Amino acid sequence: MGFAVVDTEVISDAVELACRAPSLHNSQPWRFLVDGADSQAVHLFFDPDRAPRHTDTTGREALISCGAVLDHLRVAMAAAGWRAHVERFPNPNNPEHLASLSFSPMDFVTDGHRRRAEAIRQRRTDRLPFATPPDWQSFLQRLTDTANSAWVRVDVIADEFRPQLAEASRMTEELRLYDSPYHAELVGWTTDVGVSEGIPVAALISAAENERVDIGRRDFPKISSGDRRAEVTTDHAKVLVLSTYDDNREAMLRCGEALSATLLDATMAGLATCTLTHITEVPASRQIVTTLVDRQAAPQVLIRVGLAPGVDDPGPATPRRPLDEVLEFTA
């Protein structure tokens, strides 16, 4: 198959949109290189200098983050009329080279392609309690068609197992109670000024709000006051688990791609989401999740999905790094 040369402005716009992908602590541990001598191939690299090391001790979550930006880039390019052809880990001598993408023109861009790209702009991480998501079974049917694969499976935690999941969340918090480097890292990635990375204070929740979310307890600094969405007295989110059949680097990358697909599906359905990875960072709590889904698969990411009632404006987007810091063109 012959691949076409894509205009640099199209690639720049798509990469900028793709970088709206979620990442651990909004660390954005990726960079892109566009090889003009190779039919405008786009190469995705892992940037180890940007990965939180005390939260993500194995580098697993950084790879998941990079998988999310990879899928976001495919979505952004499709909305611009280009089909992406992905080769994962193309250079065995460079483990930081995660993927190479080449492109061919699409016959037609549908409203679905455009809506999915728009969902990238609309998606937010919502840490507040959720109301019960409507038409849940219908949403699950659409979701399983896009997220399940030979690499990744999607499960729903049954409501009856919610107490066990809450206990796993509490266990994670307790086991890291005296982990000074971890807590210092959480504070270090939290900011109250307008920078291009990290978690802005406006995206955090108060202690009172946190008490109404039984499994959202990453121990970020709490804002001093606030009781938003007070009408939702208990979190009624459904909880999805993305698991992989392997624990290798490609499985983590593909898990991130499935995470992207799941979040965009939920956004397109009018649902709010909050990605949770703290529960799978500690072996003891991760084992609890394993028993709730499938002992043959390794849980990687949990997602709270629900309805954010009465919210027309999702609020400001979290900051992202300038494009010239993440994208480089070579002749």
Q: Which residue has the higher pLDDT, 121 or 196?
A: 121
| Per-residue confidence (pLDDT) for residue 157, from 0 to 100 | 95
| Per-residue confidence (pLDDT) for residue 264, from 0 to 100 | 97
The DSSP output letter for 284 is H
pLDDT band for 193, please (50, 70, 90 cuts). Answer: low
| Per-residue confidence (pLDDT) for residue 249, from 0 to 100 | 96
Cα distances (angstroms) measured from residue 100 to each of 38, 88, 97? 11, 7, 8
Closest to 85 measured CA to CA, from 124, 115, 42, 117: 42
Share of the chain above pLDDT 70, in %: 96
**Residue 303 confidence (pLDDT) above 70:** yes
The pTM of this model reads 0.95
Tell me, yes or no, if the two domains 8-121+321-330 and 136-306 fold the same way: yes
Strand partners, 104: 83
pLDDT band for 148, please (50, 70, 90 cuts). Answer: confident
Burial category of 105 from C-beta neighbours within 10 Å (exposed 0-12, middle 13-18, buried 19 and up): exposed
| Tokens 């009172």 sit on residue | 208
Rg of the chain in Å (alpha carbons): 19
The Cα 26–Cα 56 span in angstroms is: 13
Q: Which residue has the higher pLDDT, 40 or 188?
A: 188
- Residue 254 has φ and ψ, to the nearest 5°, of -70, -30
Closest to 261 measured CA to CA, from 145, 134, 108, 141: 145
Domain parsing of the chain, residue ranges: 8-121+321-330, 136-306
Q: What is the mean pLDDT of the chain?
A: 91
pLDDT tens profile 224-262: 777 888 899 999 999 999 999 998 999 999 999 999 999
The strand ranges marked E within the chain are 30-35, 41-46, 82-88, 97-105, 152-156, 190-191, 199-200, 238-244, 272-276, 298-306, 327-330
| Average pLDDT of span 17-30 | 97
The Cα 109–Cα 106 span in angstroms is: 7
Cα distances (angstroms) measured from residue 264 to each of 139, 243, 269? 12, 18, 9
Q: Name every residue whose Cβ is closer than 8 Å to that of residue 242 and which is 6 or more positions away in sequence.
A: 147, 152, 153, 154, 255, 258, 259, 262, 299, 300, 301, 302, 303
Side-chain half-sphere exposure of 9, counting CA atoms within 13 A: 0
What's the CATH number of domain 136-306, 1.10.1060.10, 1.10.3720.10, 3.40.109.10, 3.20.20.120?
A: 3.40.109.10
| Per-residue confidence (pLDDT) for residue 2, from 0 to 100 | 57
| Per-residue confidence (pLDDT) for residue 207, from 0 to 100 | 86
Q: Which CATH superfamily is domain 8-121+321-330 in?
A: NADH Oxidase (3.40.109.10)
**Residue 326 confidence (pLDDT) above 90:** yes
pLDDT band for 25, please (50, 70, 90 cuts). Answer: very high
pLDDT band for 4, please (50, 70, 90 cuts). Answer: confident
